[in-house]
A and B are shown apart, each in its own frame.
Chain A
């Protein structure tokens, strides 16, 4: 589904489309590759884990499986969700372990043209640059794509923290 084309700036890009689940997080829309998403859950009861890193919001029970919930706002340096609002979960897998990304709301699934894809601007917040694969230029807004593997590669961020 993708061919290589030479763009105006002579960079080589693939053409074709990819599907992304869009999620909203503190007013920002993000894309997560649809193939990586296992489940989207309504607000769940999350058991807090004292002493865990602050970007771990806890664990939840997904059909008998224990899933670790990641507070995406924390992870991306966004303010916490307003009081009284509950977050939704997007369940992804990393190293065969299920993780749930806690987001505000889930949007539609978009099929995006590879030609609209662009690398991260160098000025992007390092925390974002670290976990963003690149940006899609949509009509109304920009859509950073989350790199789930990098996002969940905690060892590095652990050390940095």
Chain B
């Protein structure tokens, strides 16, 4: 039988039993809201599932009952005995239909309009006043054979039933006249809808069996298979078989079926012939057509048994000693049948089992720990066996808790279908990996979030067919659900090809809700903005439809998933669709935990949250730095915020931590949602399978623990909850999402928009150094032998002139032999070589200058290729090489008049400010550098005056064009020369610059032009004055 149907039958049967009892309770206590709610819920569930499975008859009956119950619940209708009676009757009808369903896998035909009519009438209130329908007719002593108990008060009376049957044409009607024998039993049994009763009970069967037995003798095709049996024997067997079949006693039927045929060679085709014969006999016995078909169908259940038995006989005959083999096969076949059988075990029992196994695992771990310290122990071998058994047991018990994720999806097709109707969209639901199994506890917890997300996709994601056509997409939208295992986790993807998430629309909403300012938003990437949908109280649909937008937002989804230690990520391209990815642990009970140490105590961190481990010390590449008091770690181009476990747990204050010397810290890089941070611990041990046990109620308030566990050595340790730590670490900041955005922002902003080609080299120390490639004229390798010493300086003959060589690092030495790599810089007639140890790489990277350095010769440091690198100041080395270089600047005719002029430099990039300032300074300007247009305008407000302003164009908040307009608007600086400096130096940009009020527009890196232009501008202004 279909698994789904099977499950439905078991479940519904259970529900009906409960409703039976509850209804009676309700009748006695009509005001008991709890009972009523329970009944309503159960009937509602039955109705819902029927609809899903396509069982119209059941659904309509359940629906009408539900209506009445709904009226009870809303107080529109009083709970009357009559009404309850009719509802019970409908329950019986449901049972009857279920019985048919179980036998044939199809809904038996029948007409319920009369019953439904009465239910509807009650719902309408028409019959509410009707006098009690003769409660006297209920005879308490009548034992319902189907129920096996006396009829309960309120259950349907016979008289009424009969009235009902008379009005309702259907199989029941036919059954009635055929059972004059045991009327009460048969009548009430027929409520149960047993095939047995509808056929006409034992009498009819006896006649039929007799007829079949006789016919077999004369049937030319079948007679030979039944040779050697008397009519009486055959009659007995068929009688038994039919009794068993029609009464649903399948085991018995199976048994009888095997004995049915005594001669070998009975094949499927013969069985069909047998069926035809049986059918004709049944028809002769005046069994109603449908019932007859149904009855014949039941024989299919024993087809296999009969045919295999016949085959076994054949084998037994060819092999004289083969009787046992036949029997074996028989039992084999039966065993196979048993294997596929399942039993329902209460969840509590499973939980208990799981707990016991957890204990066992712990004890095993303890034993292993003990024997590890003993040499040549006799315990070794048996312990190993025990260990193996335990592992297997654990796996198997875990398996009992495993359910295919398809169970959580079962309702989705229906939901999506309904949505397509309601929203007038066309949506295909593609479910992949439905058989991926996961712990039922986890399954329960993700059911709702999943449903919600699919709803969201259908409602918000997929466009209407018209919109889709317009966008050039296929009319049908697709939602793909995909589940698969990946390294101890389950990944579930929900992907749609809808409109995606519009960052612009979201931005409006974010502003509206005041979750971020315009300025913050303008600095965020689309992906960052899109992540705002995980913020509390967010719903992107403009209108709240009945489908989604019920106040449950993605934030609830996120928190639900995080609750089970999972993570959710999103990826959306506007116009293309969105993909959500959920990552959840396989099971909650036993997880892998990373054991760490802080202040002599050990703690476990769930492995799922751990991304990587980093060891940090003062001397290594990774070291902990602080921004004010915030510890951070540079990790592959990102600043990783850190928390000290010692501090969080209150072992040490920050001062104490900072005061420690020469310590190695271990950083557990942890991810919570989209927030990544590092937990600094004293030591890291190994990973262990830990059994999560909840913390005592008094500790529930401590959000940094998610549970505790017992380790192999018997000690109890606390399991840290990364979520809790993250929120502790962020306390005061509020949402960590925000923090994350801000952190990313920090990186992004300083990166600026330009990519820089940087030459990376090594000189003196291991730390890489870098210089903008644009400043390097050539890369040369100089024979060490050719380096000469002259005037206390290293020189080399280069292109017919002497070129001074300067060490890039004071501790550096020339190579003993071979060739020395040299970077050649030229500035007008000055050419110098910078000797380095090794040229490492040329990288094109978004550049982040982190720290301006006080060290001479260094502009600052930047992360290049994931490593902190010093960016050198070329002008410093030029000054070293040529004593007159600085002076020459002043004399240079191009720039001569500008000496002493006051220049304001505006650039958001630290790098350029730091690069240009020395250049301008050496050119004789007095430079004031600020990082934003706003800061510059503030200076204007303060009354500062400058001879010249150099401004970058691409800046956050206010760009260069707007700045120029502002400046020109105001009288104070309107006469100051304005020079634009930008990497956007197309003609259009230049024109735009001029329109905005810039006097000149210069490409970045063009130092010469810049200096010339500055001089020019100052001259013009000077002349004008």
**In the bound complex, do residue A61 and residue B710 qualify as a contact, i.e. CB atoms below 8 Å apart?**
yes
**In the bound complex, do residue B693 and residue A66 qualify as a contact, i.e. CB atoms below 8 Å apart?**
yes
Contacts of B715 in A (CB 8 A): 45, 47, 61
Taking the closest CB of chain A, its distance from the CB of B179, in whole angstroms, is: 56
Q: How many Å lie between the Cα of A11 and that of B697 in the bound state?
A: 39
- A83: CB under 8 A from chain B? no
**In the bound complex, do residue B601 and residue A48 qualify as a contact, i.e. CB atoms below 8 Å apart?**
yes
**In the bound complex, do residue A59 and residue B716 qualify as a contact, i.e. CB atoms below 8 Å apart?**
yes
Taking the closest CB of chain B, its distance from the CB of A99, in whole angstroms, is: 7
Contacts of A61 in B (CB 8 A): 710, 714-716
- B650: CB under 8 A from chain A? yes
Complex partner residue of A49 from B359, B362, B702, B714, CB under 8 angstroms: B702
Residue with the highest number of chain B CB atoms closer than 10 Å, among A49, A58, A97, A158: A49
Residue with the highest number of chain B CB atoms closer than 10 Å, among A47, A50, A99, A152: A50
Of chain A, the residue at the smallest CB distance from B602 is A47
- A140: CB under 8 A from chain B? no
Of chain B, the residue at the smallest CB distance from A46 is B716
**In the bound complex, do residue B698 and residue A68 qualify as a contact, i.e. CB atoms below 8 Å apart?**
yes
Contacts of A95 in B (CB 8 A): 697
Q: How many Å lie between the Cα of A24 and that of B79 in the bound state?
A: 63
**In the bound complex, do residue B359 and residue A64 qualify as a contact, i.e. CB atoms below 8 Å apart?**
yes
In B695-710, the 8 Å CB interface with A consists of: 696-699, 701-702, 704-705, 708-710
Given A64-B363, A99-B696, does the pair A47, B651 have CB atoms closer than 8 Å? Answer: no
Complex partner residue of A47 from B363, B649, B702, B716, CB under 8 angstroms: B716
- A16: CB under 8 A from chain B? no
Report whether over half of chain A's contact residues are helix, strand or loop; otherwise say mixed.
Answer: mixed
Contacts of A154 in B (CB 8 A): 697-698
Contacts of A59 in B (CB 8 A): 696, 708, 716, 718
In A102-137, the 8 Å CB interface with B consists of: none
A68-95 interface mask toward B, CB cutoff 8 Å, 1 = contact, 0 = none? 1000000000000000000000000001
Contacts of A66 in B (CB 8 A): 693, 696, 708-710, 716
Complex partner residue of A50 from B649, B696, B708, CB under 8 angstroms: B649
Q: How many Å lie between the Cα of A95 and that of B696 in the bound state?
A: 11
- A51: CB under 8 A from chain B? yes
**In the bound complex, do residue B718 and residue A49 qualify as a contact, i.e. CB atoms below 8 Å apart?**
yes
- B717: CB under 8 A from chain A? yes
**In the bound complex, do residue A50 and residue B698 qualify as a contact, i.e. CB atoms below 8 Å apart?**
no
Of chain B, the residue at the smallest CB distance from A153 is B698
B599-613 interface mask toward A, CB cutoff 8 Å, 1 = contact, 0 = none? 001000000000000
Q: How many Å lie between the Cα of A114 and that of B705 in the bound state?
A: 45
- A56: CB under 8 A from chain B? yes
Contacts of A64 in B (CB 8 A): 359, 362-363, 710
Taking the closest CB of chain B, its distance from the CB of A86, in whole angstroms, is: 16
Of chain B, the residue at the smallest CB distance from A98 is B696
**In the bound complex, do residue B714 and residue A52 qualify as a contact, i.e. CB atoms below 8 Å apart?**
no
- A60: CB under 8 A from chain B? yes
Taking the closest CB of chain A, its distance from the CB of B716, in whole angstroms, is: 5
Q: How many Å lie between the Cα of A1 and that of B363 in the bound state?
A: 43
Contacts of B693 in A (CB 8 A): 66
- A53: CB under 8 A from chain B? yes
Number of A-B contacts (CB under 8 A): 58
**In the bound complex, do residue A51 and residue B649 qualify as a contact, i.e. CB atoms below 8 Å apart?**
yes
Q: How many Å lie between the Cα of A58 and that of B716 in the bound state?
A: 9
A3-19 interface mask toward B, CB cutoff 8 Å, 1 = contact, 0 = none? 00000000000000000
Taking the closest CB of chain B, its distance from the CB of A48, in whole angstroms, is: 6
In B342-373, the 8 Å CB interface with A consists of: 359, 362-363
Contacts of B705 in A (CB 8 A): 49
Given A45-B715, A47-B718, A60-B716, does the pair A52, B699 have CB atoms closer than 8 Å? Answer: yes
Of chain B, the residue at the smallest CB distance from A59 is B716
Contacts of B697 in A (CB 8 A): 95, 97, 154
Q: How many Å lie between the Cα of A60 and that of B716 in the bound state?
A: 6
Taking the closest CB of chain B, its distance from the CB of A45, in whole angstroms, is: 6
Contacts of A52 in B (CB 8 A): 698-699, 702
Taking the closest CB of chain A, its distance from the CB of B724, in whole angstroms, is: 10
Q: How many Å lie between the Cα of A68 and that of B694 in the bound state?
A: 11
Contacts of A97 in B (CB 8 A): 696-697
Q: How many Å lie between the Cα of A147 and that of B698 in the bound state?
A: 18
Contacts of B714 in A (CB 8 A): 61
Contacts of B363 in A (CB 8 A): 64
B730-763 interface mask toward A, CB cutoff 8 Å, 1 = contact, 0 = none? 0000000000000000000000000000000000
In B606-636, the 8 Å CB interface with A consists of: none
Q: How many Å lie between the Cα of A45 and that of B710 in the bound state?
A: 12
Taking the closest CB of chain A, its distance from the CB of B690, in whole angstroms, is: 12
Q: How many Å lie between the Cα of A1 and that of B743 in the bound state?
A: 72
Of chain A, the residue at the smallest CB distance from B599 is A50
Contacts of B718 in A (CB 8 A): 47, 49, 59
Q: How many Å lie between the Cα of A68 and that of B695 in the bound state?
A: 9
Contacts of A50 in B (CB 8 A): 601, 649-651
Given A45-B715, A47-B601, A61-B714, does the pair A56, B698 have CB atoms closer than 8 Å? Answer: yes
Taking the closest CB of chain A, its distance from the CB of B150, in whole angstroms, is: 40
Contacts of A158 in B (CB 8 A): 698, 701
Q: How many Å lie between the Cα of A47 and that of B1022 in the bound state?
A: 80
Of chain A, the residue at the smallest CB distance from B646 is A50
Q: How many Å lie between the Cα of A52 and that of B698 in the bound state?
A: 9
Contacts of B699 in A (CB 8 A): 49, 52, 56, 68
Complex partner residue of B717 from A47, A51, A53, CB under 8 angstroms: A47
Taking the closest CB of chain B, its distance from the CB of A130, in whole angstroms, is: 16
Taking the closest CB of chain B, its distance from the CB of A150, in whole angstroms, is: 14
Of chain A, the residue at the smallest CB distance from B707 is A66
Q: How many Å lie between the Cα of A64 and that of B697 in the bound state?
A: 18
Taking the closest CB of chain A, its distance from the CB of B604, in whole angstroms, is: 12
Of chain A, the residue at the smallest CB distance from B696 is A68
Contacts of B716 in A (CB 8 A): 47, 58-61, 66
Given A61-B716, A64-B359, A99-B696, does the pair A51, B702 have CB atoms closer than 8 Å? Answer: yes
Taking the closest CB of chain B, its distance from the CB of A7, in whole angstroms, is: 39
In B662-720, the 8 Å CB interface with A consists of: 693, 696-699, 701-702, 704-705, 708-710, 714-718
Q: How many Å lie between the Cα of A152 and that of B698 in the bound state?
A: 9
Contacts of B651 in A (CB 8 A): 50
B632-659 interface mask toward A, CB cutoff 8 Å, 1 = contact, 0 = none? 0000000000000000011100000000
Q: How many Å lie between the Cα of A49 and that of B718 in the bound state?
A: 7
Taking the closest CB of chain B, its distance from the CB of A25, in whole angstroms, is: 20
Of chain B, the residue at the smallest CB distance from A97 is B696
Q: How many Å lie between the Cα of A51 and that of B698 in the bound state?
A: 12
Q: How many Å lie between the Cα of A115 and that of B709 in the bound state?
A: 46
Taking the closest CB of chain B, its distance from the CB of A69, in whole angstroms, is: 10
**In the bound complex, do residue A51 and residue B650 qualify as a contact, i.e. CB atoms below 8 Å apart?**
yes
Q: How many Å lie between the Cα of A49 and that of B699 in the bound state?
A: 9
Contacts of B696 in A (CB 8 A): 59, 66, 68, 97, 99
Q: How many Å lie between the Cα of A61 and that of B990 in the bound state?
A: 76
Q: How many Å lie between the Cα of A47 and that of B708 in the bound state?
A: 10
What would 7 A/B residue contacts be, using CB atoms closer than 8 Å? A47-B717, A50-B601, A50-B649, A52-B698, A52-B702, A60-B716, A64-B363
Known: A52-B698, A68-B698. 4 other contacts (CB 8 A): A51-B650, A66-B709, A97-B697, A158-B698
Closest 5 CB pairs of A and B: A50-B649, A68-B696, A47-B716, A59-B716, A154-B698
Interface set of B (CB-CB < 8 Å, partner A):
359, 362-363, 601, 649-651, 693, 696-699, 701-702, 704-705, 708-710, 714-718
